[in-house]
Amino acid sequence: MNKLEINVLVDQLREGTISRRGFMRRATALGVSAGAAGMLARSAAAQTPVATPAGDVITNAVTREEAMAAINEAFPFEEAGNMGGEIIYQQSTDIGTVNTVLNSDVYGGYITGMIYEGLIGASVVDGKDVPTGLADGWEISADGLEYTIFLNPNVTWHDGTPFTSADVVFTFDAALAENSQSVRKTTIDSVLDRYEAVDDYTVKFYALAPSGIFLTEALGQFGIMPKHIWEGVDPADWPSDGGSTGTDPARVVGTGPFKFEEWKLGETVTVVKNENYWQPDEVPYIDRFIYQVVGESSTVLAALQTGGTDVGDIPFAEADALQESNPELQVVAYDTTSMNYFHCNQDVTKTELYSDVKVRQAMLYALDRTLLADMVYFGYAIQADGTQPVLSIAYDPSRVNTIYNYDPEMAMSLLEEAGWVDSDGDGIREKDGQKLTMDVIYSEGTATYPVQIPYMQDAWREVGIEAITSAIPFQTLLDNTDAGSYGVCVQGFQWSIDGGQDAMFWSEMTPPNGFNSMRYSNPDYDALVIPSKTEVDQEKRIDIITEMSNIVNDDAAVGINVFRQNIMGASPVVHNFFPNGYGAFWWINKAWVDAR
């Protein structure tokens, strides 16, 4: 027990800078019994001129223990029948970074999520904010502007250095620096006013305005980085630092249940069990997790059947047959916040080909997206009506203004209205001497694209659009779209469940500080961004988000093909395999494998 820290807490309670509930939480975390903590609180209150009125703050709805108990109740974990071993996960795409602040892709998030931890967690039962991260809990002031975050005092970095509030402040300083390379900078800036360390284990964040999504928007964007490792590196240089590229493993230091071992570019990423993880009950059962990059998705399927891999994403076309022919394999399909979409470069300084909304709308009407859902995703997807995915709190197709059902006649009519006509009879439309020829890029190695891309190419040609397609490495695709050096891109994206999509559609969200690669801009949409963040009534906020989604959808800012499920498979040697739409690998700490 640290008597100095206890005395500081008593002073804070007496001065009113910490609530009684916060005091009790902190004191018991420092080793003070609940009874003794209560006596200290009563003593401090007796010396306090004005006690903190009940109801002044809003606290986290559940404790860490209650959140974990809900997870254990919802998922039937087996006791580990074997300790040690490894799990290999195969994927056709390499990750982009091992830096949690810089990560912008789903696959990189799998790895950074094992190494680093955020302040708060999201329940894998229902997606709600819960204290399963570095914070034991939080308090929100009555006016909704102050968020007091109570850090767990027992956390240590992988190298043994104690974790404190200084690491939190440093991470936000770096992520929000003028020259930050974090894609989430603008999102956080839009809701966060300032922040400060109250003491070693308390951080206070101040919102620009009351917000129903502040915890997610401001605090849930990335994991916390170690100040003692990164404080000498300029934020502009973070992407090339060995702690981001993995070339200097000693600099990849987190607090999570796994420690970084190595990243062989284009081959494997390996993390190993953190024996000294600060949550003893969550120390992984397996010794290591290996992310293995393979050339094609079909390779994953073969490896699952032969034992060459333990876990992998299953191609939609193979899921049903695989389960029938290999009933011992574990095949789990689940709803997600994921979509497959195409987006067009709307930066008129690069090209004016896609600046006309009628052209973008025509591209959508030309596609039979229900056919795509059936033909490419084999029923594990639905036509996307609007922009809100299935797991979003704002998902409601009945409120979508414009439904782009397959209508090639409408597509051709829109193109003609936009001035694109086939004057020479070669099947490709022209305007002002320019052919309606589009350069389309997509990621190589993706299982669905050998069928999907040719279909889209043929469907567009039917209405007079020529699509010249190119498969390129995923990281190259991201580099090109971030730089605005592309025409059309087909790719996937994953939202959060809260319905906010300004990270992609707000005009201020262009890379590197957002996902608006297409450089879309609509002042009506922009005007609703702040109201969508500051509305605390969820139903009213959903109304605002719905209006924003309709603006984007009417503009055909992007062409969302389908909202899709994910299908993951696991070898029978893997136990406690429970992927879902709230986390593909949230279960990895509890996973164990048969001896082999």
pLDDT digits (tens, 9 = 90+) for 236-259: 999 999 999 999 999 999 999 999
Same domain as 538, residue 398 = yes
Tokens 């953190």 map to which residue? 274
HSE, side-chain direction, 13 A CA sphere, residue 428? 11
> How many independent structural domains does the chain possess?
3
Token pair of 50 as six digits: 């004005």
10 Å Cβ neighbour count for 329? 16
DSSP state of 129: E
Same domain as 323, residue 455 = no
Same domain as 554, residue 487 = yes
Q: Which of 307, 318, 316 is nearest to 570 (CA)?
A: 307
Cβ-based burial of 4 (10 A; exposed 0-12, middle 13-18, buried ≥19): exposed
Same domain as 438, residue 293 = no
Question: Looking at the domain assignment, is residue 116 inside a domain?
Answer: no
Same domain as 475, residue 387 = yes
Edge-first strand listing for the sheet containing 57-59: 57-59, 135-141, 146-151, 202-207, 192-199
Question: Looking at the domain assignment, is residue 498 inside a domain?
Answer: yes
Residue 577: which domain range? 73-103+247-329+568-593
Question: Looking at the domain assignment, is residue 90 inside a domain?
Answer: yes
Tokens 């229900």 map to which residue? 370
111-139 residue pLDDT tens = 999 999 999 999 999 988 999 999 999 99
pLDDT (tens place) for every residue of the chain, 596 residues total: 454 556 556 666 655 655 554 555 566 556 554 444 544 554 444 443 333 333 468 898 899 999 999 999 999 999 999 999 999 999 988 999 999 999 989 999 999 999 999 999 999 999 889 999 999 999 999 999 999 999 999 999 999 999 999 999 999 999 999 999 999 999 999 899 999 999 999 999 999 999 888 999 999 999 999 999 999 999 999 999 999 999 999 999 999 999 999 999 999 999 999 999 999 999 999 999 999 999 777 788 889 999 999 999 998 989 999 989 999 999 999 999 999 999 999 999 999 999 999 999 999 999 999 999 999 999 999 999 999 999 999 999 999 999 999 999 999 999 999 999 999 999 999 999 999 999 999 999 888 999 999 999 999 999 999 999 999 999 899 999 999 999 999 999 989 889 999 999 999 999 988 999 999 999 999 999 999 988 888 899 999 999 999 999 999 999 999 999 999 999 999 999 999 999 999 999 999 999 98
Tokens 């401001």 map to which residue? 218
Question: Which residues, other chains included, contact 376 with Cβ-Cβ below 8 Å and sequence gap of 6+?
Answer: 316, 448, 451, 452, 455, 562
Question: Looking at the domain assignment, is residue 145 inside a domain?
Answer: no
Q: Which of 563, 231, 254, 223 is nearest to 395 (CA)?
A: 563
Same domain as 448, residue 304 = no
Same domain as 321, residue 253 = yes
Q: Cα separations (Å) of 70 from 73, 190, 566?
A: 5, 33, 24
State how far the Cα of 207 lies from the Cα of 190, in Å rounded to an integer: 9
Cβ-based burial of 491 (10 A; exposed 0-12, middle 13-18, buried ≥19): buried
Q: What is the pTM of this model?
A: 0.78
State how far the Cα of 407 lies from the Cα of 144, in Å rounded to an integer: 48
Q: b/e map of 409-437 (b: 16 or more CB within 10 Å)? A: ebbbebbeebebebeeeeeebbbeeebbe
pLDDT at 290: 98
Question: Which residues, other chains included, contact 283 with Cβ-Cβ below 8 Å and sequence gap of 6+?
Answer: 257, 273, 274, 275, 277, 589
